[in-house]
């Protein structure tokens, strides 16, 4: 084989490898990954302005609220994010679609704290720790198909930040289970402070929150299930 042909094959192969190894375009959940040692300055998360927003869906309605952050740190080197760790208080969970004085508020809050969902008595905190940071590029976010109803979960492309800057990967621990999730985020670093927002969907059953499992519904038309998809949004700022 002459040099020109060999060179052409090598270029084609290199292009194929690079194309297949580019950052994915889909929110993903996988097994826990090793957390690399972060470099640079360590900034402290502001608990007063940092939280996880959540929305749970069922065909007949939905509930939403947030889980407050209690501590955290973000590592930055040369104006680039290199790592982060956030701790959230499951027992501090708030429901925002009804007043706390509503009798159903207490019932729903108690159910979410119970072993049916977070099992907060044994696992009172959730922890997220960054394992990887990649440029977002110009990729379009791919959406998964959901069972249609009056309250079909929002799509990943609908709840993602308007102008994502990065794909963030990290280990999320809830209910004693750790999984790695990858999602788009908008990260801003100015004057030694970090602000980050993200919106994406997870499958709650991956962490053992299996009450009303959608996949166990014999007849979804009867609306007797809760969507496994939960919309999650991070809002993080440092002091």
For the chain, which residues make up each domain, given as ranges? 25-237
Please write the tens of the pLDDT for every residue from 74-98: 999 999 999 999 999 999 999 999 9
Which stretches of the chain are assigned E, i.e. beta strand? 28-31, 41-44, 51-58, 61-77, 80-89, 94-95, 125-135, 166-174, 177-190, 193-203, 229-237
Residues whose CB falls within 8 Å of the CB of residue 125, separated by 6 or more in sequence, listed in order? 70, 87, 88, 89, 90
- What does the pLDDT read at residue 14? 32
Q: Which pair of structure tokens corresponds to residue 217?
A: 């519904």
- What does the pLDDT read at residue 138? 72
Q: Which pair of structure tokens corresponds to residue 181?
A: 């999730």
Please write the tens of the pLDDT for every residue from 112-132: 999 999 999 999 999 999 999
- What does the pLDDT read at residue 24? 55
- Residue 55: pLDDT band with limits 50, 70, 90: very high
Say how far apart CA 204 and CA 202 lie, in whole Å: 6
Spell out the CATH class of 25-237: mainly beta
Please write the tens of the pLDDT for every residue from 144-164: 999 999 999 999 999 999 999
């Amino acid at each position: 084989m002459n040099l020109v042909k060999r060179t052409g094959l090598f270029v084609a192969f290199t292009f194929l490898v690079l194309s297949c190894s580019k950052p994915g375009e889909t929110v993903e959940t996988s097994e826990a990954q090793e957390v690399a040692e972060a470099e640079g300055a360590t900034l402290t998360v502001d608990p007063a302005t940092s939280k996880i927003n959540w929305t749970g869906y069922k065909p007949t309605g939905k509930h939403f609220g947030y889980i407050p952050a209690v501590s955290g740190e973000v590592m930055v080197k040369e104006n680039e994010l290199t790592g982060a760790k956030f701790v959230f208080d499951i027992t501090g969970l708030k429901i925002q679609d009804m007043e706390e004085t509503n009798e159903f508020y207490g019932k729903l809050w108690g159910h979410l704290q119970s072993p049916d969902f977070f099992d907060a008595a044994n696992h009172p905190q959730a922890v997220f720790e960054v394992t990887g940071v990649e440029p977002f590029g110009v990729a379009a976010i791919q959406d998964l198909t959901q069972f249609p109803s009056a309250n079909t979960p929002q799509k990943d492309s609908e709840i993602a930040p308007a102008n994502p800057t990065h794909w963030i990967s990290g280990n999320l621990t809830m209910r004693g289970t750790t999984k790695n999730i990858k999602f788009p985020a908008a990260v801003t670093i100015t004057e030694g402070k970090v602000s980050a927002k993200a919106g994406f969907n997870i499958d709650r059953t991956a962490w053992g929150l299996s009450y009303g499992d959608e996949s166990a519904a014999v007849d979804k038309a009867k609306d007797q299930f809760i969507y496994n998809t939960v919309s999650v949004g991070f809002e993080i700022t440092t002091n």
